[in-house]
Amino acid sequence: MMERKKLDALLLLAGIEAVAVHELANKYWPDCEAYAQIRRDTPWWLVLTKAGPVVIGWRKNVISIDWRDTAVRALVTADDTTKGEDHVHAWSYGDAVKYLAHLAHALNTVATPQAA
């Protein structure tokens, strides 16, 4: 379960400045009565940054980090994990901090483009 205080710690350690944070329904478990309690107990988070939204939340065994709705397209790790240029799965909070720190750099580059 990722409580808001754990999310805030991840963002702080990774250097991601959130403009706003909103709780989301868990996007992994089906939206049906059988999973209603686990969906309530394990929310996901919409983190609004200056470069766009990042969605973070626990799936079954991994933390899903998704930035597909930003302009950033970058691999944030070479680790053997599910990943793409707009998402990554972290197997621990430590991995999540590492990946988010790399993402923070890319988000900051998009949010404050260099002058030509």
pLDDT band at 113 (very low <50, low <70, confident <90, very high): low
pLDDT band at 85 (very low <50, low <70, confident <90, very high): very high
Rounded Cα distance, 56 and 96, in Å? 10
Q: Which amino acid is at 47?
A: V
Q: Is 72 helix (H, G, I), strand (E, B) or coil?
A: coil
- The full set of domain ranges for the chain reads 4-111
**24-42 residue pLDDT tens:** 999 899 999 999 999 998 9
pTM of the model: 0.91
Q: Give the mean pLDDT of the chain.
A: 93
Q: Which residues contact 114 (CB under 8 A, 6 or more apart)?
A: none
Half-sphere exposure of 106 (CA within 13 A, CB side): 21
What residue has token string 């350690």? 13
